[in-house]
Amino acid sequence: MTTITQIQPLDVPSAIVQRRSIKTFKSDPIAPELLKQLVELTVAAPSSFNVQSWRIVLVQDEAQRAALAAASWNQKQIVQAPVTFVFAADATAGEQDLTPILEKAQETGAWNEATVGYFKNAVPQFQAGLGDKRREYAIKDAIIAATHLVLAAESLGLSTCFMNGWIEDQVKAVIGATDNPDLAIAVLVPVGYAAEPRLNPGRLPYDYNVFVDNINNPYQG
Ligand SMILES: Cc1cc2nc3c(=O)[nH]c(=O)nc-3n(C[C@H](O)[C@H](O)[C@H](O)COP(=O)(O)O)c2cc1C
């Protein structure tokens, strides 16, 4: 079994290029220290006002994995992989008590008293102004964290698959969040050791979807 001590982490460009969405995983467990490192690198992601509105559930228990797979059109990655990260997003995070966030930033010296004073009012105001977009904004934070996880996992010798194929209410039931209407499911990411390689399906030429200055001016590379 691969352990954290045996791994020479891949650099970021190499991890980006090497990463594939893996559909078949070995049942090998992830060493607890390695899983902890993944969690650390995941929550190192940036978020709007540093509110960290992601709510991440590590689904590891066999029965829980089976239930989560059933909520995900029986996609087998979730049963096979030793852990699936469920990235949920709390649309009300910016309205909750911000004290732990503000105190931490003051403790590290990143935010001075004036910044903290500003954020105390600005964050709830911004949040209130979002209205119906609160959910969308929280999901952005969660997806950015999921991207950190995927690249960190690749760098550390693991494989992943971003997953959109699930039924939100059913996933919420599995993680015990049925009663929370403000919790959205952003994405699921099984993590483990790949059982088989996958080829890169390739990408469109840049001039399809990359532009310079104006959406009508394709980037030629
Ligand atoms: C947001 C998102 C959702 C996806 N959902 C699924 C999924 O439910 N099941 C699956 O097998 N692959 C899923 N994929 C994987 C894509 O099919 C895959 O990323 C794409 O074909 C490109 O392949 P690559 O990731 O190996 O570059 C998803 C990818 C993304 C980014």
CATH at residue 192? 3.40.109.10
Q: Cβ < 6 Å from ligand 1: which residues?
A: 20-21, 23, 75, 161-165, 187, 198, 200-201
* Domain extent at residue 113: 9-198
The count of other CB atoms within 10 Å of the CB of residue 79 is 18
Q: Does residue 217 lie within any of the structural domains?
A: no
Question: Is the residue at 17 inside a domain?
Answer: yes
Atom of ligand 1 nearest to the CA of 165: 8
Does 167 reside within a domain?
yes
What is the distance between the alpha carbons of residues 152 and 78, in angstroms, rounded to a whole number?
Answer: 19
- Asked if residue 156 is part of any domain, the answer here is yes
Indicate whether 210 belongs to any domain.
Answer: no
CA–CA separation, 204 and 221 (whole Å) = 12
Neighbour order of strands in the sheet with 183-192: 54-59, 83-90, 183-192, 159-160
Residue 56 inside a domain? The answer is: yes
Asked if residue 3 is part of any domain, the answer here is no
Number of domains, the chain: 1
Rounded distance from Cα 84 to ligand 1 centre (Å): 15
Q: Residue whose CA is closest, atom 10 of ligand 1?
A: 163
Q: What pTM was estimated for this model as a whole?
A: 0.96
Output Rg (C-alpha) for the chain, integer angstroms.
19
Protein residue with its CA nearest to atom 13 in ligand 1: 163
Instruction: Look up tokens 């699930």; give the residue.
Output: 166
In DSSP terms, 185 is beta-bridged to 88
Q: Is residue 209 part of a domain?
A: no
21, 80, 164, 187, best to mutate for ligand 1 pocket (most atoms within 8 Å of CB): 21
Per-residue pLDDT of the chain (221 residues; tens, 9 = 90+): 444 556 799 999 999 999 999 999 999 999 999 999 999 999 999 999 999 999 999 999 999 999 999 999 999 999 999 999 999 999 999 999 999 999 999 999 999 999 999 999 999 999 999 999 999 999 999 999 999 999 999 999 999 999 999 999 999 999 999 999 999 999 999 999 999 999 999 999 999 999 999 999 999 99
